[in-house]
Chain A
Amino acid sequence: MALTQVSSNKCAGGFQKVFEHESTELKCKMKFAVYLPPKAETDKCPVMYWLSGLTCTEQNFITKSGSQLAAAEHGIIIVAPDTSPRGCGIEGEDENWDFGTGAGFYVNSTQDPWKTNYRMYAYVTEELPKLINANFPTDPDRMSVSGHSMGGHGALICALKNPGKYKAVSAFAPICNPMQCPWGQKAFAGYLGSDRSTWEAYDATVLAASYSGPQLDILIDQGQDDQFLSASQLLPDNLIAVCSEKKIPVVFRLQPGYDHSYFFIYSFIGDHIKHHAKYLNA
C-alpha cells in the first residue's frame, strides 16, 4: 500500500498532488490525483471522489475542471482516480477508445480476459477509499461521489448500490441507462457477458427503480448541445422518469449551448462542489 508521490503543486492555497501505488484489486500500478485544501493542514476533511469519463486519466479533471478553488473554499479533499487499469497486457485492451484502457466503466468484470484486472467498481468503492483514509487527513464517514459521462454513470451506481455510504452524489452528462445505449451495451457485453440480467447491477436507471435507503439528492447537469445526448448514449430522460416515479429527488439541469467537454464541467463544477459541501459539511 505504499504511495509514491508523482507530483505536488501548490494550488488555491492547498496542494494538488498525484500519487502512484500498486493496486491489489487491479493488479497494476495505478495513479490517482488528490487535492488537499488548506483546511486539511489542520483538520480532517471530507472527501469527494471524482470519476472521469471515457479516455480520461487522473489528469483531465485536475487540469481542466477548475475544481480546486471551490474545494479550497469548502474544505473538501477531492480524489480523482484513473479510469481503468493500464498496461496489463491484455489482448485488445488498447484497440478501442470506448472499451478497455481508459474505459473501465466502473464495473467488476466477470469475463475473461478482463476479470483479473478490470475491477474498477471494487477499486473506487473499496480499495481506494481505504488507501485514502489511511494516508490523508480524512473523515471516513463523510464521503461523496461525482463524475462525468462514464464517470457520471460510475458515480450514480456507486451511490445507488451503497445506500448511505456516500453523503452526496452528482453527475455531469452521465450515462444514465447504459443497458440501453451503444457504449454501455458494448462495455457490459465485454466485461459482464451476454446475460443482460447481470448488467442490471450496474445500470443507474435500473438501480434507481429498486433503490431503498437514505434520502438521496442527485444533481445532474447536462449540456443541451452535447453530441452524445443527441446520439442517445446518455438517456437522462429514462433515469428522470424512474426517479419521478420512485420519488428519488433529482434536479436535472439542461444547460443550453454546452457540449460534453470539460469546458462544460468547468462552468458548473462550483455548483456541484457546493451541492456536495451542503451534505459533507452538514
Chain B
Amino acid sequence: MFLINCPFCGERDQSEFSSGGEAHIVRPKQPTELSDDQWAEFLFMRKNIKGVQFERWNHSHGCRKWFNVVRDTSNDKIHSVYKMGEKPPVK
C-alpha cells in the first residue's frame, strides 16, 4: 500500500492504478525469426528483482495513461516516475 505520483494527475492511492509489470521489455522487431527460447524469454522470463526495479503502471481509475515507475520492491518506496518514451533515470 503506497501512493503513486501520476505524472498527469498527481499523487493518488496505489489502488487507483494497475501494475503492468517489468518495464523496457521491447517487443521483438522480427517475430517470425524468433526461436522458441527467444519467445520464452520475451513472454515469460522476468527479472523479478528484490530491490530497485523499473516497471510500468497504468492510472486505470484516473487518466488511464501509462507511465514508468522506479520502485524498490523490498520496501515499496518509489524513487522516481517518468513518462513513456523518456529515458530511464540512472539508479
User: Do A and B interact with each other, yes or no?
Assistant: no
